[in-house]
């Protein structure tokens, strides 16, 4: 049996796993990354990717510090937000309210992943594309057995392998899952009129639709819908008409750039972010409703926090250090999950008399309070 020894083994080569491995490798740690499903990275920057992320300015700085920020030619800039309630309520706020250049940057998943892996390939990083079979831990180390007979020994194992995390299951960390009665339908469109770097969102009563600005006269949509099959069954022209009508034809006629796709939505709360010699990051440790676009931002902050805590050297899996990681992330995660879940519930309840008036009045009242609007802007950019 081949045995390899590392400071940290990261399981999961997606966005959060890749930037965690990159950050630790650049600190001089001995790092291995395990993912049996890595894509053809040479093909990532081809065509459009409907899976997009609204990256906060703070996380852009973190990715830039790793040398892993994509070419700006494929990145949209959100300077303003325009939010519509389901009964006439409206709220708008802007980055200029707090003197910032942007509220967020809209980045395609594949292009961001390609930028991260381009940097990873430049590092002396061990990459294993073999499935893991077993995980064992004791007070001194974590041991990961791979299908090819390799056994990886490490001070710390990081599970960044997604919402259905194998690592979390192997570590016997319990999880509370709340399925939402919605799936997120995503697609990209070109528009008849310019979007003015404005992100638009509509609470529709039975779902939530967001139009996010991309370069040129293009947008990416995220439609949290209880009937995703109805949208996916439409041909391209009919889908364009349906999306344009739902947004009040705010940008004129739309043209579909690539087929739409969908993924189910759920709220995931594990019992813990850490266990002996093990830490969870990204969707393995939490998921949120995408209405605020903060899921991947939480994951990047997991990576930034963990790498900062390990920067001092020493035992990467020290229990007190892992507990500091969990405590430092808990408040931000719980706050975001609670806020997004509360908004989802508030705008999807149709059975309580007066609730629709209350939520729309709340939006409009907030729009008339500059101090509160500045708070929304600061929250959007991570201040």
- The CA dihedral of 57, 58, 60, 65, to the nearest 10 degrees, is 140
- Is 342 a residue whose pLDDT tops 90? no
Q: What is the pLDDT of residues 260-287, one digit of tens each?
A: 999 999 999 999 999 999 999 999 999 9
Per DSSP bridges, beta strands 126-128 and 104-108 are unpaired
> Does the predicted TM-score (pTM) go above 0.75?
yes
* Per-residue tokens: 176: 């509370």
Per DSSP bridges, beta strands 126-128 and 132-137 are unpaired
Task: Place domain 3-51+111-176+268-345 in its CATH homologous superfamily.
Answer: FAD/NAD(P)-binding domain (3.50.50.60)
Q: Helices then strands (H, E): number in the chain?
A: 10, 19
Integer Rg of the chain from CA: 21
Task: Give the residue, 43 or 258, on which the prediction is more confident.
Answer: 258
- Is 340 a residue whose pLDDT tops 60? yes
Let me know: does 190 contact 310? Beta carbons within 8 Å: no
Let me know: does 363 contact 89? Beta carbons within 8 Å: yes
Please provide residue 202's backbone torsions phi and psi, each rounded to the nearest 5 degrees: -125, 125
Please, what CATH class does the domain formed by 65-106+181-264 belong to? alpha beta
Q: How far is CA 51 from the centre of its chain?
A: 10
User: Does the fold of domain 65-106+181-264 match that of domain 3-51+111-176+268-345?
Assistant: no
* Per-residue tokens: 256: 């579909």
Residue count of the chain: 383
Domain boundaries, the chain: 3-51+111-176+268-345, 65-106+181-264
Task: Give which of 261, 262, 250 is closest to 219, Cα–Cα.
Answer: 250
Q: What is the pLDDT of residues 303-328, one digit of tens each?
A: 999 999 999 999 999 999 999 999 99
């Amino acid at each position: 049996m081949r045995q390899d020894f590392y400071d940290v083994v990261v399981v999961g080569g997606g966005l959060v796993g890749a930037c965690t491995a990159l950050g630790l490798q650049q600190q001089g740690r001995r790092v291995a990354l395990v993912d049996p499903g890595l894509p053809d990275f040479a093909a990532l920057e081809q065509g459009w990717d409907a899976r997009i992320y609204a990256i906060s300015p703070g996380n852009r700085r973190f990715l830039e510090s790793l040398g892993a920020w994509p070419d700006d030619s494929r990145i949209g800039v959100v300077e303003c937000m325009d939010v519509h309630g389901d009964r006439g309520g409206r709220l708008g706020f802007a980055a200029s309210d707090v003197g910032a250049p942007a509220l967020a940057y809209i980045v395609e998943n594949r292009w961001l992943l390609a930028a991260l892996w381009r940097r990873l390939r430049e590092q002396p990083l061990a990459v294993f594309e073999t499935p893991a079979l077993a995980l064992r831990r004791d007070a001194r180390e974590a041991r990961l057995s791979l299908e090819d007979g390799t056994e990886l020994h490490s001070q710390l194992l990081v599970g960044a392998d997604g919402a259905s995390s194998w690592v979390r299951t192997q570590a016997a960390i319990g999880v509370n899952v709340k399925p939402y009665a919605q799936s997120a339908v995503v697609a990209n469109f070109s528009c008849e009129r310019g979007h003015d770097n404005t992100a638009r969102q509509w609470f529709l009563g039975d779902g939530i639709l967001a139009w996010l600005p991309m370069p040129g006269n293009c947008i990416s949509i995220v439609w949290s819908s209880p009937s995703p099959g109805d949208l996916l069954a439409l041909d391209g022209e009919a889908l364009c008409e349906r999306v344009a009508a739902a947004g009040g034809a705010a940008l004129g006629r739309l043209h579909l750039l690539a087929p739409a796709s969908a993924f189910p939505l759920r709220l995931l709360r594990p019992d813990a972010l850490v266990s002996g010699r093990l830490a969870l990051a990204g969707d393995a440790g939490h998921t949120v409703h995408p209405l605020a676009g903060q899921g991947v931002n939480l994951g990047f902050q997991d990576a930034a926090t963990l790498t900062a805590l390990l920067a001092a050297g020493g035992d990467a899996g020290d229990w007190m250090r892992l507990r500091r990681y969990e405590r430092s992330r808990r408040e931000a995660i719980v706050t975001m999950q609670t806020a997004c879940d509360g908004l989802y519930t508030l705008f999807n309840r149709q059975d309580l008399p007066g609730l629709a008036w209350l939520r729309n009045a709340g939006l409009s009242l907030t729009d008339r309070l500059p101090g509160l609007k500045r708070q929304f802007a600061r929250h959007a950019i991570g201040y």
